[in-house]
Chain A
Amino acid sequence: MRGLRFLFVGVYLCLGTLPLLWLGITSLKERPDTISVHLKWLPSGAAGAEDDAYFAATLDAYRQLGVVYAGADHAFYHYLKNSALIGLLSTLASVFIGTSAAYGFSRFPIPGAKDWLFFILSTRFLPPLAVVVPVLMMYREFDLQNTHLGLIILYTVFNLSLAVWLMKGFIDEIPRAYEEAALVDGYSRLQAFRLIIIPRAASGMAVTGVFCLISAWNEYGFAMTLNNQDAVTVPVYFAGLQGNVQGIPWPQVCAGVLLFVAPIILFTVLVRRHLLRGVTFGTLKQ
């Protein structure tokens, strides 16, 4: 029985990680080896025969990330900068606005608080494509189409529900006694929030920030429909390369994808103890 269990997990682990391994292998190839009819999976110093498993391993694809490919206006790094700028600023905004709202809901008697919280959560379920048309019309009015700011605002709002719910869980865990002592000592509410609560909620804010950053980093639907020139993010850039008539430059795409997902994998390892909380909006804790 035990053997069977490990066999199952082992097989799934291999099948599940093989695609990621293949991503790494492909990024070391030259293009002809990526579209060979033979399975080329063993890196070697020199190119093998046409029909064997060896390919000449090279880091050229990583060096060529600065090249502009057909189907895009700029090189990979340009779009990486867009993704980073939009992801980081929207994450900062979500976390701060979310923390403030979570504090309000956690500490003050607010009529209908439960209903408000569920309203906030319900916005998470809206399909992006159902709101994107009116948002596009609004953005045209305010000239926010094709701007970084437009996507930053949208991602901030899109991640707010997650930020409020996660932060409420974290702030509920901070004993009220701390800030009550501070208030007795003559702190104002805002001072107590800034000097007592924020430092104690900092690790929770970091975890919340990671989840907001990942969802902004990965977002595709809004990014693709709201702009096509100035604030194009990496997922939209990669999708655009499909229009390349000479065929997709697979080694460079794979090298770019690896660089793009490396921070996500790193963050996943960092917040692994909070993953359950993150994907269930703080309902379940490990």
Chain B
Amino acid sequence: MRGDWDRGWLRYGFIAPALVLLVAMNIFPLLYSIVLSFTNADLVGSNSSWVGVLNYKFVFKFAKYGQALRTTALFVFLAVACELLLGFGLAYALRDRFALKPLVLTVLLVPMMLPQAVMGLFWKLILNGNYGALNQFLGLLGFSQPQWITDPDLKFLSVLMVDVWMWTPFMMLISLAALQAIPPHIYEAAAIDRASPWRTFRRITLPMCAPLLGLAVLLRATDALKQFDLIMALTGPNDRVTQTLSALLYQTVFRDGKVGLGTAYSYVILVLVIALASVFLRYMGRLQRESDS
């Protein structure tokens, strides 16, 4: 009776619902959008016709696209770097036990669980140039009060700042796990060898944390690459300075109504995401094998 389950097709009954749903709602749409990207389909659903590779030609000709690609790359790099430095710094500072540690950690972790779109709107109040709390505070200290969200020189920085506020806790969480996984006897051995604190940090702490920090960076980078909610809330999808690939895609499809061109854009994003994700998946497979053995 058990043999039926283990060898027969019935065991697939357990996994079939999940796979069917994923294929229907993820794989099929992706294939369907390949078709769409070769047409001039629009959002209202009037008759569309085949236009060949025209959309892809447009994608690479538009200056907007190059700009969005640069903005996205810069955003991913700066956001991940700031969050890693701050998050690892916090974890390193919090590595020892102390009485209030669980409470402090929980409070620090809250922002990353909150809805980005909603918090983005609220940050608009804080960052408002005329009545925002940040500027009122800067005013009390006698600093100048810039227009954080509308000044072209500052709005990218503002989006970055809110992203760092939301996602530094994520880096801290994984960094803490990495620091806690280092066996204490290694530090004891270093102390016996009279290694300086800096040397211990360079030669033991950092290399032993590196694999998990790599995992954190990859996870965060794939997420930052998709960043859309914060940009929509803070500056809107059609802002020259903060228009990332996702924002450009939204603008093209839902504001300009050009579905064919939009799906062609989405394939360019997909190639980037798939490249990053496959690095991540391979990396994660390796980590799992190491922890299994």
Contact = CB atoms under 8 A, between A and B. Distances in A.
A160 B232 CA distance: 26
B146 interface: no
B248 to A, nearest CB: 10
A59 interface: no
B253 to A, nearest CB: 6
B14 A250 contact: no
Contact of A235 (B18, B115, B137, B284): B115
Interface string A241-260: 11000001010011001001
A13 B104 contact: yes
A220 B30 contact: no
Contacts of A157: 21-22, 24-26
A23 interface: yes
Which of B36, B125, B273 has the most chain A CB atoms closer than 10 A to its own CB? B125
B288 interface: yes
B285 interface: yes
Contact of A9 (B90, B126, B285): B90
A136 to B, nearest CB: 8
A129 B109 contact: no
Interface residues of B, number: 100
B2 A183 contact: yes
Interface stretch (A30-38, A42-50, A62-70, A199-207): A30-38
A239 interface: yes
A174 interface: no
Contact of A127 (B14, B215, B233, B269): B269
Which of B22, B174, B215 has the most chain A CB atoms closer than 10 A to its own CB? B22
A276 B5 CA distance: 34
A269 B11 contact: no
Interface in A238-284: 238-239, 241-242, 248, 250, 253-254, 257, 260-261, 264-265, 267-269, 272, 275-276, 279-280, 283-284
Report the 9 A-B pairs with minimum CB-CB distance, sorted nearest first: A104-B14, A134-B29, A220-B117, A39-B136, A218-B115, A101-B18, A104-B15, A130-B266, A5-B93
